Every structure is written in structure tokens, then in C-alpha cells.
């Protein structure tokens, strides 16, 4: 089965490609098929993932899969939530490439999160991933998987790997931040890995893969 990933993120393609390796699925990005990214106007991860999957399926006529993910901090009422990637107001420098822009946005997001948690004792948080798969844009039975990876927000970044909030997210069960984990360990334990494991089971059962 050829499955369209409703994202143009090469890292996400590689990560999900490995997670779905047990199934006979060819995963391709929507960008490689000329499909622009969808709007994400909703307040929940599930609604945004569904909107992205429907957009990709409608544009390509193929089954589609989409995820929406982010960081939810207990003491902030679940923020940054669906706004995780654009939590801090940020204007890119003229001529700045996509990767440089992402790194600068990440740094601004982390700084704002630390500012809003200044003096807050409860640092509990979770990385959250909603993963949705559709056979067609009007599929009445979308497959929905959800993963949570529990941790705590540190007072300062630690670790050189990962992206986004990884340097601030300490995972007690692993004794380190996400940014300090080897890629293979992160992929085995992450919120996306938890959701993907659920999705594998759902696809086998509902789609007979």
C-alpha cells in the first residue's frame, strides 16, 4: 500500500518509515506529490491531524496518515499544546533558510516556556502525539491512535540532539533529557512511537495489512 504522509518533514518521514517497517507500506511525503501543507485551525491534536490527513487524501486520491504533536505542560493548563511549534512570536530574518528559521523558532519557544514556568514548582509535562490514518478523504472510519510521553521541564536546556523542546524535557524513566538520547532510543520510547504502535495494531485489524 502507498500511504501519503501529510507532512513535508524529512525527519518525520524517516522516523515513521522505521516505525511502520513491519507493514507492507510505502510511505511518501505529500510534498513529493506536489501537495501543499494544510491549515491547522483547531484546538486539539486529533482535529488538526484529521484535517491534515483529509487534505492529503483529497489532493492525492491515496490513503493518508497525519500526526499532530506537541508539548503539554500541566501547570500551564496544557500549553503550549497545538501551538507548540509557534509558541513564541518570531519573525525570521530576511533570506533565512527553513532549517535556520526552525532552530531560531525553537530557541524562542524554549525561552518563552522557561519564562512562563519561572518560579513554578510543578514541572510535569507530556509530549503528545495524535496519529490518524484514512483510506480516503471521506473515510467514515478514521483510525485514531494517541501517544503520551511523560516527563518534567528542566530549569535549563541539556543535550545536543533532537529539536523543539527536547533539550528541556527530562524523562525520569530514562534518567536524561530527550535531546541527550540516541536517536534509536528516542524512536523506541517517544510519544510518536507509542502512537505508531497503536496504529500498527489498528491497521492490521481494520485494514487487514
Catalytic residue set: 68
Q: Pick from 206, 51, 193, 69: which is nearest to 135 by CA?
A: 206
CA distances from 154 to 71, 127, 177, 181, 191 (A): 13, 14, 9, 15, 19
What stretch of H or E contains 30?
none
Q: How far apart are CA 128 and CA 150, in angstroms?
A: 9
Rounded Cα–Cα distance for residues 116 and 81 (Å): 14
Amino acid at each position: 500500500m502507498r500511504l501519503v504522509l501529510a507532512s513535508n518533514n524529512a525527519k518525520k518521514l524517516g522516523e515513521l518509515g522505521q516505525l511502520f517497517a513491519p507493514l507492507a507500506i510505502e510511505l511518501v511525503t505529500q510534498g513529493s506529490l506536489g501537495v501543499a501543507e494544510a491549515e491547522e485551525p483547531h484546538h486539539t491534536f486529533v482535529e488538526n491531524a484529521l484535517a491534515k490527513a483529509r487534505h492529503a487524501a483529497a489532493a492525492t486520491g491515496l490513503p493518508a496518515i497525519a500526526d499532530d504533536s506537541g508539548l503539554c505542560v500541566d501547570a500551564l493548563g496544557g500549553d503550549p499544546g497545538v501551538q507548540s511549534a509557534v509558541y513564541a512570536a518570531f519573525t525570521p530574518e530576511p533570506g533565512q533558510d527553513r532549517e535556520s528559521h526552525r532552530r531560531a523558532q525553537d530557541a524562542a519557544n524554549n525561552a518563552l516556556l522557561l519564562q512562563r514556568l519561572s518560579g513554578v514548582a510543578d514541572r510535569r509535562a507530556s509530549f503528545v502525539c495524535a496519529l490518524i490514518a484514512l483510506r480516503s478523504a471521506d473515510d467514515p472510519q478514521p483510525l485514531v491512535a494517541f501517544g503520551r510521553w511523560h516527563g518534567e521541564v528542566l530549569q535549563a536546556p541539556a543535550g545536543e540532539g533532537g529539536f523543539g523542546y527536547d533539550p528541556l524535557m527530562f524523562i525520569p524513566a530514562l534518567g536524561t533529557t530527550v535531546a541527550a538520547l540516541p536517536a534509536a532510543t528516542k524512536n523506541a520510547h517517544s510519544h510518536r512511537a507509542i502512537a505508531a504502535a497503536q496504529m500498527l495494531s489498528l491497521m492490521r485489524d481494520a485494514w487487514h495489512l
